[in-house]
C-alpha cells in the first residue's frame, strides 16, 4: 500500500484549505477539468460499463439488482465480503496495492480518511458535485478529504437517548433534556433503587459520539499539518462529566454489547443508552425483556439554546483506486443512496438510516414500533439528524487511536484510572504513530 508519508507531506496543505470549507458547509469546488475522450465507435458505445462492488450490508445485493434493472449503461456485480474490521478493509487495501481491486467498496466514515491517506481511493469530485445538495451536510463532509470526493454517503448514525420509560414513570423522574438534568436523574434513580444505573460504559466510536456532540474534535488541520486534540480542554470537559457519574456509582459495570449489558437493558437495571439510530435494532434483538418499556427522546444537551447532536457509524460507497470507470461507479453509488424503493429495502433489512434528505420521510421510517410502546421513534431521529455537529474529522489511523483509547477507558470505567488519563494516553500514542509514518503533526 502507499505510504502515509507521501500523502501526509504532499496533500496536507490542500486538506487544510478544504476542511475549512467543508466544516462550514462550503462547496468542495468546481469539477476538475478533463481531456475529452476520443469518440467511441457504435459498438463501443453500446457496450455497458461493468464494475464490481464489495460490501456486506444486508440488502445490498437487492440494490444491485434494482440498479441493473433500472438502466442499461452500467452493469454492477455484487460480491459479499467480510465486514471491514473483520478482514474486508484489509482485502480492499491489498487489492488496491496489487492493482486488482473492485471499483466500489463499502467503507465506514471513520475509516475513509485512512483509506484516503493511503492513496486507496479514486477522486470522483467531477461526477459527484452536482449531487452534493441532496445529502445531509455532515455525511457529505465525511466522504470529502482534501477537497476531493471519494464516494457517496449511504447512511448516518444520529444519536438520541433511549430510556426505560416505565422505570422513569415508576420513580416519577422527568426525562432529562440537558446533561445537568441527566446527572440529577442518575442520582434520583440511585436513591430510588441502588441496583439501577443511569448508563453503561462507552468505548471507541460510541464514546466519540459524545465528544462529537460537545464540539470536542479529536482531529483537525493546522497549516500543512494534522492537529491531534483528543486530550483538549473540550474533551476533558466530556471526560470529567462522565467521570463524575462513575465516582457517584451511577454507571453500570457491564460494557456495551456484553451479555450483561443486554440483561441490564431488559430487566431495568440500566436505565438509558445515549446512542445511534441503528442501536434500536440492537436493543430490540438482544434485550427482548424490555419490550414495551422503552422510548426514545432527544439527546441531552450541553446548551439547550444551541442543540447539537453526535453521530455514531455510517458508511459510504467508496470508489477504490484504479477503478477504470469512475463515472459509472458514481452513478451506481449515488443510486444506492438516493433511490427510494431500493433504500426502503435497506431500512427493512439492514436498519440503515438515510444520508439523503429526501429519504427521511420514507414510509419505512414512519411506522409505530411495538417494542417502543407504539412510538414512531424515527420521528425523533429525523429531527436529531439535522442537528448533527458538522465540525468533525476522522484521523488517518483510527484503529490505532481507538485501540489505545479503549485501553484507558476500560480501566477508568472500572475504577482503575481516570477517563481524562485515557485521553492523554490515546493522544500521545496517536501522535507518535503518525510521526512514525512521516505524517506532519502540529505541536
Task: Give the per-residue pLDDT at 45.
Answer: 53
Beta strands 49-55 and 104-108 are: parallel
Q: Per CATH, which fold does 4-156+313-365 belong to?
A: D-Maltodextrin-Binding Protein; domain 2 (3.40.190)
**Nearest in space to 211 (alpha carbons), one of 353, 108, 313, 311:** 311
Helices 398-413, 109-117: crossing angle, 10 deg rounding:
140
Residue ranges of domains in the chain: 4-156+313-365, 159-310+392-436
In the sheet that 272-276 helps form, which strands lie side by side, from edge to edge? 272-276, 159-164, 294-297
C-alpha cell at 115: 483509506
Q: Cell digits for 5?
A: 508519508
Is 297 in contact with 307 (CB distance < 8 Å)? no
Q: Does residue 391 contact residue 23 with C-beta atoms inside 8 Å?
A: yes
Same fold flag, 4-156+313-365 and 159-310+392-436: yes
Q: What is the rounded (10 degree) CA torsion for 157, 161, 164, 165?
A: -120
Contact 259, 434 (CB under 8 A): no
User: Could you tell me the strand order of the sheet in which 315-319 lies?
Assistant: 74-80, 49-55, 104-108, 315-319, 151-153
Set of cell numbers at residue 288:
427482548
Q: Is 143:153 a contact under the CB 8 Å cutoff? A: yes
Q: Where are the beta strands (DSSP E) in 327-442?
A: none
Q: What is the pLDDT along the chain (443 residues), one digit of tens a residue?
A: 333 332 333 333 334 333 333 333 333 333 333 444 444 444 455 689 999 999 999 999 999 999 999 999 999 999 999 999 899 999 999 999 999 999 999 999 999 999 998 999 999 999 999 999 999 999 999 999 989 999 999 999 999 999 999 999 999 999 999 999 999 999 999 999 999 999 999 999 999 999 999 999 999 988 889 999 999 999 999 999 999 999 999 999 999 999 999 999 999 999 999 999 999 989 998 999 999 999 999 999 999 999 999 999 999 999 999 999 999 999 999 999 999 999 999 999 998 999 999 999 999 999 999 999 999 999 999 999 989 988 899 999 999 999 999 999 999 999 999 999 999 999 999 999 999 999 999 98
- The residues facing 407 across adjacent strands are none
Q: Which CATH class is domain 159-310+392-436?
A: alpha beta
220-239 burial: b if 16+ Cβ within 10 Å, else e:
bbeebbbbbbbbbeebbebb
Torsion sign over Cα 301, 302, 308, 313: negative
Q: Which three cell numbers stand for residue 233?
A: 480542554
SS3 content of the chain, % helix, strand, coil (to 5): 50, 15, 35
Q: What is the model's pLDDT at position 240?
A: 98
Beta bridge partners of 13: none
Question: How far is Cα 367 from Cα 364, in angstroms, rounded to an integer?
Answer: 6
Helix (H) or strand (E) holding 384: helix 378-385
Dig out the grid coordinates for 177 from the structure.
433534556
pLDDT at 46: 66
- Bridge partners of 51? 76
Cβ–Cβ under 8 Å, residues 326 and 222: no
What pLDDT sits at residue 3? Answer: 31
Half-sphere exposure of 258 (CA within 13 A, CB side): 13
- CA-wise closest residue to 299 among 157, 158, 161: 161
Backbone torsion region of residue 223, taken as left when φ is above 0, otherwise alpha when ψ lies between -120 and 50, otherwise beta: left
| DSSP SS3 for 289 | helix
Amino acid at each position: 500500500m502507499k505510504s502515509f508519508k507521501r500523502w501526509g507531506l504532499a496533500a496536507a496543505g490542500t486538506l487544510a484549505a478544504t476542511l475549512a470549507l467543508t466544516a462550514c458547509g462550503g462547496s468542495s469546488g468546481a469539477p476538475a477539468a478533463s481531456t475529452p475522450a476520443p469518440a467511441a465507435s457504435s459498438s463501443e458505445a453500446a457496450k455497458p460499463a461493468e464494475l464490481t462492488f464489495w460490501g456486506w450490508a444486508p440488502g445490498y445485493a437487492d440494490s444491485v439488482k434494482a440498479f441493473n434493472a433500472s438502466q442499461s449503461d452500467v452493469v454492477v456485480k455484487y460480491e459479499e465480503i467480510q465486514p471491514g474490521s473483520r478482514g474486508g478493509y484489509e482485502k480492499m487495501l491489498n487489492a488496491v496495492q496489487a492493482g486488482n481491486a473492485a471499483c466500489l467498496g463499502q467503507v465506514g466514515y471513520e475509516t475513509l480518511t485512512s483509506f484516503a491517506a493511503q492513496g486507496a481511493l479514486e477522486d470522483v469530485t467531477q461526477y459527484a458535485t452536482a449531487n452534493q445538495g441532496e445529502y445531509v451536510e455532515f455525511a457529505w463532509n465525511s466522504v470529502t478529504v482534501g477537497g476531493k470526493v471519494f464516494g457517496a454517503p449511504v447512511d448516518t448514525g444520529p444519536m438520541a437517548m433511549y430510556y426505560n420509560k416505565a422505570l422513569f414513570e415508576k420513580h416519577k423522574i422527568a426525562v432529562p433534556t440537558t446533561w445537568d438534568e441527566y446527572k440529577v436523574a442518575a442520582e434520583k434513580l440511585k436513591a430510588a433503587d441502588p441496583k439501577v444505573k443511569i448508563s453503561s460504559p462507552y468505548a471507541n466510536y460510541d464514546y466519540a459520539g459524545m465528544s462529537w456532540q460537545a464540539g470536542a474534535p479529536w482531529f483537525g488541520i493546522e497549516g500543512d499539518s494534522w492537529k491531534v486534540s483528543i486530550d483538549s480542554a473540550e474533551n476533558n470537559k466530556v471526560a470529567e462529566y462522565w467521570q463524575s457519574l462513575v465516582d457517584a456509582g451511577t454507571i453500570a459495570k457491564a460494557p456495551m454489547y456484553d451479555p450483561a449489558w443486554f440483561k441490564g437493558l431488559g430487566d431495568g437495571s440500566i436505565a438509558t443508552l445515549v446512542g445511534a439510530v441503528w442501536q434500536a435494532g440492537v436493543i430490540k434483538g438482544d434485550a427482548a425483556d424490555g419490550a414495551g418499556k422503552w422510548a426514545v427522546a432527544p439527546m441531552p444537551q450541553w446548551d439547550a439554546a444551541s442543540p447539537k447532536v453526535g453521530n455514531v457509524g455510517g458508511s459510504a460507497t467508496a470508489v477504490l483506486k484504479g477503478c477504470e470507470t469512475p463515472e459509472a461507479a458514481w452513478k451506481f453509488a449515488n443510486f444506492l443512496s438516493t433511490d427510494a424503493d431500493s433504500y426502503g429495502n435497506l431500512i427493512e433489512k439492514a436498519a440503515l438510516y438515510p444520508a439523503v434528505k429526501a429519504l427521511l420521510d420514507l414510509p419505512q421510517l414512519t411506522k409505530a414500533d411495538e417494542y417502543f410502546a407504539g412510538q414512531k421513534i424515527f420521528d425523533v431521529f429525523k429531527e436529531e439528524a439535522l442537528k448533527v455537529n458538522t465540525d468533525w474529522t476522522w484521523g488517518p489511523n483510527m484503529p490505532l487511536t481507538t485501540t489505545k483509547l479503549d485501553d484507558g477507558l476500560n480501566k477508568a470505567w472500572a475504577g482503575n484510572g481516570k477517563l481524562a488519563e485515557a485521553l492523554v494516553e490515546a493522544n500521545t500514542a496517536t501522535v507518535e504513530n503518525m510521526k512514525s509514518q512521516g505524517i506532519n503533526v502540529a505541536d
